[in-house]
Amino acid sequence: MANNDLNDINKRIEKLKIQKNILRANSEQNINRKRRTKRLIEKGALLEKYFEIDYLTVEETEEFLKIFSEYIKANKPIKFKKKED
C-alpha cells in the first residue's frame, strides 16, 4: 500500500511539474506580448507626434507611410540600420 501511495505521489509530482512548465511558458509569452504592445504604442505615439498625423485614420496613416517608406529606407543612417548577425 505504501508503494502504491508513493507511485501516486510521484505521478502527481510529474503532473505538477508539467503544469508548472506550461504556466512558465505562457507567462513568458504574455510578457513578450505585453512588451510588443508597449513598443507598438510608443512608436505609434512618436509617429503621430513627429509627423503631426494624429487626425489620420489607420488606412490614411498607412498610405502616408507608403509614400515615404522607400525614401526613408534608402536614406536611413547606418546607425539605424538593422544589424545583421
Q: Cα-flanking dihedrals φ and ψ of residue 55, to 5°? A: -85, -10
- Kindly list the distances between the CA atom of residue 71 and the CA atoms of 36, 39, 46, 65, 81, in Å, as whole numbers in the listed order: 26, 24, 19, 10, 14
The three cell numbers locating residue 34 = 505585453
pLDDT of the chain along its 85 residues, tens only?
677 888 899 999 999 999 988 888 888 888 898 999 999 999 999 999 999 999 999 999 999 999 999 999 999 998 988 887 6
Residue 6, classed as helix, strand or coil, is: helix
- Predicted model pTM: 0.61
Tens of pLDDT, residues 31-45: 898 999 999 999 999
Tell me if 53 sits within 8 A of 64, measured CB to CB. yes
Q: How long, in residues, is the chain? A: 85
